[in-house]
């Protein structure tokens, strides 16, 4: 059976748009329930089409790099043409599957989570808009549409973070996310301009064909281009120093956190680096910068996560940390490892968020882990799913996170041969980060599900949680509509890693580096580094780090002790705790360096205006008023007098003409 | 052209004197009509005199071989404008001007008359002094095959070289029509319509302002009425 | 055309002066409007006369445009007169002097 890859990809791409438009045009004529189901249906169609796209791609006899399908020419001006086209290659199919698959599950989850929200329909429409934007980004066939998708994703995220627009904190967080992302947008736009200036091409195929001739390897131009592209990626993916928006973005509804701020949007930066890898391959410095930023971010975020008390913020910092790993992988050129971790992370992080969402939902929108504890008894299924996600996050065999994270660590160690000390340093950071991951991950598990029942949890057990002024009467396990997408994600988290068992198979590597497809970094073939002892060593170190992290967490919080034991960390590193609690003071730093000077400037300008400009304007108005008063006597208000004046003037003019003409 | 036709209708009379007679007749009618417009104390008489003036001018246009403009003159001015005036005069009833005593600008009248007369004299003097060319020959048809002054010639001019003026004029007519409607709305209907027309965020504010203005005007009108009756009473006693 | 164009233009000048006198002297708003019509027509007559003299369409086009504008002016002018008559008893232009400075 022949499958037209392009057609199916178009269906996958446009299905969320159709869903969005139907909901938007249907408006209130569409019952809330029907609109939401429509959104889920659109996502199901998109996911089905994505799977068929994958099958169709595999069925191609000779994959020729990419399947490009042009709908129409969007802009045409002289030789400058921007086609509206999609670019289907293994990389975009990979992203397509992750976005639509996880997106579909989170859509279904939202049905339950947001069921009581009066604006469920708007929420589902936004979710569809977000998925459509993300697909624009990953399927774009040229630089311009990549940029369009990039901007749309930022907008959709803004709308979703600020979904509860009656909460000032939510709107502030939405604005913050938008502004920080705008910095990244400008950066990546400038990078794209540079690429266009040098190559004169917009379509990916042409760009990458011309790039090696247009830009010298190792040149300052190559570094500059990479730097600008990287700036965009850092903002979208919440990496240092443009990461401050992500924790605040947790003000949005939890499904949004799962979909946007864990599974898809924040991985856009990783995707962008992978997509532009021919550019990054031209600049060793930019690659080292990428991996160092990734390494530093994963440490900083992991450390910050240790002391956060908001369940979603812990997971948000964990997301930053995990994306740091992806940046490390992208930096050393192991793009398939980055994409593999991107996928498994999407599974287990969405699982974590959705599990956290169930807890938050059950406890009446309570997000403070100090008021939780002992939930295991009330919701065992959620507990075990959360446990699976945490194990995967920590990198415990055989869960998905183990395979993907250790692949990154292995490649980082191996890359030491090529990058020298930088790679070893980043490897060290990665291992340290893995220990931290185990600690903060299980701190969450122990504090939320183990230990003594907190007062709030006990009330939940009695079905007496008060939410929005009325008792929910809910107790026990979460409703099935919320649970089954989580179960699917749990299953994927368990088996998802098995597609790349070291030494046995390597589906991400083989698929993404498929013959004819855009080759991901020649020379990173595992065979080259394939010293068996080294692999074994790396895996042992990775597992050891995870075990150490788990053990530490168990020692500190695992034996059913009350929250006061949290202070153990304080005793451990009393001076470090406030730093972690305040997330290394990045917000304060930006406030002092950017916000306050700007406000100061504005205040100074206002004072200048008040003291200097305004009095001058006052003079002008007074002068105008006085002169008006002076000549107002001529305005007698009698039309005939005015007409008389006009007639006299005309008489004078005609007389003048006659006189001039006669002389 | 039309002038020639008129001459042809009276073959026994020499062409020139007949046209001169016609011109004299209609010019006199036009001037008399115009004078009557500005001298009649009853606006009704003024409007009817204006009708005479308009019709005379239409006849003069015919003598100038401008049949289309002449017909337009009769239809638009005599047909529409004057009738509109008559309607309004009839609607408003008898509103003669106040007695001379009430005129505030009594001194203006003679000065204005002198000024207008001087103005007219100067214009006429200029016309007499000026050297006008003889009328062009229009017996030949234009290359496009239509004759001077015909509707087709005017249509070609309007939709060709003057299309912008044509469109702008139509726009002015539209605005005037809307303006007429807005001005014609009265009382409650006007209030509602205006509020609907100006429906902005601060509709309530506008409504309040509007009502305030209306109240003020009504109060003032009442005060004036009261003042008027009291002066009358004073005069009678 | 046997009647010289001077005569038409002279007539136009006389009519214009009469109209101007009406505007200056009369205080009834309706009559003022009528006088303005006379002035417009005087202008039209000159336009038509010159148009005929030069055998050019331009004057006619202008004259027809003036007619359209005059019609608009009558609509708005009369509308104002009627609206005023609802507020005031008089239509005397000398009494309508709210815009005095």
Determine the pLDDT at residue B31. Answer: 93
- Distance CA(A110)–CA(A132), nearest Å, equals 17
- What would the two tokens of residue A250 be? 């947790």
Burial of B232 (0-12, 13-18, 19+ CB in 10 A): exposed
Q: With CB atoms and an 8 Å threshold, state whether B122 touches A651.
A: yes
Task: Tell me the residues of B at the A interface, defined by beta carbons under 8 Å apart.
Answer: 104-105, 108, 111-112, 115-116, 118-119, 122-123, 125-126, 129
- Distance CA(B113)–CA(B90), nearest Å, equals 29
Chain C residue with CA closest to B14: the answer is C2
For residue B110, pLDDT beyond 90: no
Q: Which residues of B touch C48 (CB under 8 A)?
A: 61, 64, 66, 69
For residue A434, pLDDT beyond 70: yes
pLDDT band with cut points at 50, 70 and 90 for residue A662: low
Q: With CB atoms and an 8 Å threshold, state whether C18 touches B43.
A: no
Q: Which residues of A touch C24 (CB under 8 A)?
A: 640, 643-644, 647
The Cα of B126 is separated from the nearest Cα of chain A by a number of Å equal to 7
Q: Find all residues with CB under 8 Å of A183, minimum gap 6, and list them.
A: A231, A235, A242
Selected from 1.20.1440.60, 3.40.50.1970, 1.20.120.1200, 3.40.50.720, the CATH number assigned to the domain covering B1-96 reads 1.20.120.1200
Please report all neighbours of C, defined by 3+ CB atom pairs within 8 A.
Answer: A, B
- Phi-psi domain of A473 (left: phi exceeds 0; alpha: psi -120 through 50; beta: other): left
For residue A267, pLDDT beyond 70: yes
Chain segment A105-125, per-residue pLDDT in tens = 888 888 877 777 778 888 888
Determine the pLDDT at residue C1. Answer: 58
For residue C76, pLDDT beyond 70: yes
For residue A14, pLDDT beyond 60: yes
For residue A173, pLDDT beyond 50: yes
Provide mean pLDDT across the span B27-55: 90
Determine the pLDDT at residue A547. Answer: 81
pLDDT band with cut points at 50, 70 and 90 for residue A475: low
- What would the two tokens of residue A295 be? 């390494």
Chain C residue with CA closest to B117: the answer is C17
Of B54, B73, B169, the CB nearest to C65: B169
Q: With CB atoms and an 8 Å threshold, state whether A631 touches C94.
A: no
Please report all neighbours of B, defined by 3+ CB atom pairs within 8 A.
Answer: A, C
CA atoms within 13 A on the CB side of A54: 16
- Distance CA(C27)–CA(C30), nearest Å, equals 9
- Distance CA(B207)–CA(B204), nearest Å, equals 5
For residue A507, pLDDT beyond 60: yes
Q: Which residues of A touch B108 (CB under 8 A)?
A: 640-641, 644
For residue A9, pLDDT beyond 80: yes
Q: Which residues of B touch C18 (CB under 8 A)?
A: 31, 34-35, 37-38, 116, 120
Determine the pLDDT at residue A527. Answer: 41
pLDDT band with cut points at 50, 70 and 90 for residue B55: very high
For residue A424, pLDDT beyond 90: no
Q: Find all residues with CB under 8 Å of A474, minimum gap 6, and list them.
A: A362, A460, A463, A465
Chain segment C36-59, per-residue pLDDT in tens = 999 999 999 999 998 888 888 888
SS3 for A594-653 is HHHHHHHHHHHHHHHHHHHHHHHHHHHHHHHHHHHHHHHHHCCCCHHHHHHHHHHHHHHH
Determine the pLDDT at residue C15. Answer: 93
Provide mean pLDDT across the span A400-413: 81
pLDDT band with cut points at 50, 70 and 90 for residue C14: very high
Rg from Cα positions in chain A: 30
- Distance CA(A314)–CA(A349), nearest Å, equals 12
Q: With CB atoms and an 8 Å threshold, state whether A644 touches B116.
A: no
For a pLDDT cut of 90, what percent of chain B falls above it? 11
Total residue length of chain C: 101
Determine the pLDDT at residue B33. Answer: 92
Of A636, A643, A644, the CB nearest to C97: A636
Q: Which residues of B touch A638 (CB under 8 A)?
A: 104-105
CATH 1.10.287.3510 fits C5-87, yes or no: yes
Determine the pLDDT at residue A377. Answer: 75
Q: What is the DSSP string of B71-127?
A: HHIIIIIIIIIHHHHHHHHHHH---PPPPGGG-S-TTHHHHHHHHHHHHHHHHHHHH
Among C24, C42, C90, the strongest candidate for a mutation testing the A interface, having the largest count of A CBs within 10 A, is C24
Provide mean pLDDT across the span B58-67: 87
pTM: 0.63
Determine the pLDDT at residue A517. Answer: 41
Backbone torsions φ then ψ of A73, nearest 5 degrees: -85, 120
Burial of A93 (0-12, 13-18, 19+ CB in 10 A): buried
Of B115, B123, B125, the CB nearest to A647: B115
Greatest pairwise CA separation for chain C in angstroms: 54
Please report all neighbours of A, defined by 3+ CB atom pairs within 8 A.
Answer: B, C
Chains A and C: how many Cβ contacts under 8 Å? 36
- Distance CA(A17)–CA(A296), nearest Å, equals 38
- Distance CA(A392)–CA(A394), nearest Å, equals 5
Per-domain residue ranges of chain C: 5-87
CA atoms within 13 A on the CB side of B203: 11
Collapsed DSSP state (helix, strand, coil) of residue A472: coil
The Cα of C43 is separated from the nearest Cα of chain A by a number of Å equal to 14
Chain segment A287-330, per-residue pLDDT in tens = 888 888 988 888 888 888 887 778 888 888 888 888 888 888 88
For a pLDDT cut of 90, what percent of chain A falls above it? 1
ipTM > 0.90, yes or no: no
Provide mean pLDDT across the span A123-145: 88
Q: Find all residues with CB under 8 Å of A301, minimum gap 6, and list them.
A: A243, A317, A318, A319, A320, A321, A324
Q: Which residues of B touch C44 (CB under 8 A)?
A: 57, 73
* In A55-121, beta strands by DSSP E: 67-77, 80-88
- Distance CA(B140)–CA(B117), nearest Å, equals 42
């Amino acid at each position: 059976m022949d499958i037209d890859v392009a057609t199916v990809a178009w269906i996958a791409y446009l299905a969320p748009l159709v869903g969005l438009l139907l909901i938007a045009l249907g408006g209130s004529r569409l019952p809330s329930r029907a609109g939401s189901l429509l959104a889920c249906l659109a996502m199901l169609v998109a996911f089905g089409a994505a799977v068929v796209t994958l099958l169709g791609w595999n069925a191609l006899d000779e994959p020729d790099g990419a399947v490009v399908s042009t709908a129409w020419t969007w802009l045409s001006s002289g030789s400058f043409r921007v086609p509206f086209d999609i670019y289907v290659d293994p990389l975009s199919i990979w992203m397509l599957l992750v976005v639509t698959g996880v997106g579909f599950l989170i859509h279904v989850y939202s049905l339950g989570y947001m069921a009581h929200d009066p604006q469920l329909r708007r929420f589902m429409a936004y979710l569809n808009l977000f998925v459509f934007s993300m697909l624009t980004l990953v399927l774009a066939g040229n630089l311009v549409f990549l940029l369009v998708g990039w901007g749309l994703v930022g907008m959709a995220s803004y709308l979703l973070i600020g979904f509860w627009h009656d909460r000032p904190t939510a709107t502030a967080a939405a604005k913050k996310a938008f502004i920080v992302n705008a910095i990244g947008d400008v950066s990546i736009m400038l990078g794209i301009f540079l690429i266009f200036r040098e190559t004169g091409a917009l379509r990916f195929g042409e760009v990458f064909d011309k790039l090696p001739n247009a830009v010298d390897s190792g040149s300052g131009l190559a570094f500059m281009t990479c730097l600008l592209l990287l700036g965009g990626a850092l903002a979208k993916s919440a990496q240092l120093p443009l990461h401050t928006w992500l924790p605040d973005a947790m003000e949005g509804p939890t499904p949004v956190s799962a979909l946007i701020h864990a599974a898809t949007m924040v991985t856009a930066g990783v995707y962008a680096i992978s997509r532009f890898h021919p550019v990054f391959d031209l600049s060793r410095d930019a690659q080292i910068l990428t991996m160092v930023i990734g390494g530093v971010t994963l440490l900083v975020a992991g450390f910050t996560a240790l002391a956060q008390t908001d369940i979603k913020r812990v997971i948000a910092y964990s997301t930053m940390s995990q994306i740091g790993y992806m940046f490390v992988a992208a930096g050393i050129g192991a793009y398939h490892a980055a994409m593999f971790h991107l996928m498994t992370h999407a599974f287990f992080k969405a699982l974590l968020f959705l599990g956290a969402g169930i807890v938050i939902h059950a406890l009446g929108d309570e997000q403070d882990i100090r008021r939780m504890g002992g939930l295991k008894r009330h919701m065992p299924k959620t507990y075990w799913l959360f446990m699976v996600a945490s194990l995967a996050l920590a990198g415990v065999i055989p869960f998905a996170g183990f395979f993907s994270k250790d692949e990154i660590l292995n490649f980082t160690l191996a890359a030491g041969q090529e990058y020298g000390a930088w790679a070893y340093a980043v490897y060290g950071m990665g291992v340290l980060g893995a220990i931290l991951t185990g600690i903060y991950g299980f701190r969450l598990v122990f504090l939320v599900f183990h230990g003594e029942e907190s007062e709030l949890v006990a009330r939940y057990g009695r079905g007496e949680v008060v939410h929005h002024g009325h008792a929910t009467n809910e107790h026990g396990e979460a409703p099935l509509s919320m649970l089954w997408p989580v179960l699917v994600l749990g299953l994927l988290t368990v088996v998802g890693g098995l597609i790349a068992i070291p030494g046995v198979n390597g589906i991400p590597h083989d698929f993404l580096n498929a013959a004819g497809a855009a080759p991901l970094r020649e020379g990173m073939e595992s065979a080259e580094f394939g010293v068996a002892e080294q692999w074994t060593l790396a895996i042992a170190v990775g597992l050891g780090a995870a075990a150490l992290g788990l053990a530490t967490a168990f020692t500190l919080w695992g034996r059913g002790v009350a929250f006061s034991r949290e202070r153990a960390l304080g005793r451990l590193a009393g001076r470090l705790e406030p730093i972690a609690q305040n997330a290394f003071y990045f917000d304060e730093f930006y406030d002092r360096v950017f916000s306050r000077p700007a406000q100061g400037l504005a205040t100074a300008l206002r004072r200048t205006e008040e003291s200097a400009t305004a009095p001058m304007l006052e003079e002008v108005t007074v002068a105008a008023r006085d002169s008006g008063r002076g000549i107002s006597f001529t305005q007698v208000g009698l039309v005939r007098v005015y007409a008389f004046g006009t007639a006299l003037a005309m008489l004078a003019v005609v007389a003048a003409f006659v006189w001039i003409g006669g002389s | 052209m039309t002038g020639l036709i008129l001459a042809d209708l009276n073959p026994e009379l020499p062409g020139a004197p007949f046209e001169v007679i016609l011109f004299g007749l209609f010019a006199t009618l036009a001037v008399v009509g115009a004078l009557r417009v500005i001298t009649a104390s009853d606006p009704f008489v003024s409007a009817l005199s204006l009708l005479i003036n308009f019709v005379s001018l239409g006849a003069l246009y015919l003598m100038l071989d401008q049949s289309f403009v002449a017909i337009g003159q009769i239809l638009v001015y005599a047909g529409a404008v004057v009738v509109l005036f008559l309607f309004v005069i009839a609607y408003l009833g008898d509103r003669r001007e106040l007695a001379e005593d009430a005129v505030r600008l009594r001194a203006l009248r003679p000065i204005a008359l002198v000024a207008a007369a001087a103005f007219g004299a100067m214009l006429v003097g200029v016309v007499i002094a000026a050297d006008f060319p003889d009328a062009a020959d229009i017996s030949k048809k234009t290359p496009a095959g239509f004759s001077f002054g015909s509707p087709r010639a005017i249509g070609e001019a309007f939709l060709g070289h003057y299309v912008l003026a044509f469109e702008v004029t139509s726009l002015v007519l539209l605005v005037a029509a809307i303006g007429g409607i807005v001005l014609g709305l009265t009382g409650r209907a006007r209030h509602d319509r205006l509020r609907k027309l100006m429906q902005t965020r601060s509709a309530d504010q506008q409504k309040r302002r509007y009502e305030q203005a209306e109240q003020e005007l009504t109060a003032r009108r009442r005060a004036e009425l009261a003042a008027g009756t009291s002066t009358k009473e004073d005069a009678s006693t | 055309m046997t009647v010289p164009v001077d005569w038409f233009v002279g007539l136009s000048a006389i009519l214009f002066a009469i109209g101007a006198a009406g505007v200056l002297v009369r205080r009834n708003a309706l009559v003022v409007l009528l006088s303005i019509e006379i002035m417009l027509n005087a202008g039209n007559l000159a336009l038509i006369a010159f148009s005929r003299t030069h055998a050019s369409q331009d004057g006619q086009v202008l004259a027809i445009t003036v007619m359209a504008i005059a019609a608009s002016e009558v609509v708005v002018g009369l509308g104002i007169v009627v609206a005023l008559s609802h507020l005031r008893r008089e239509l005397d232009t000398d009494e309508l002097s709210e815009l005095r400075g």
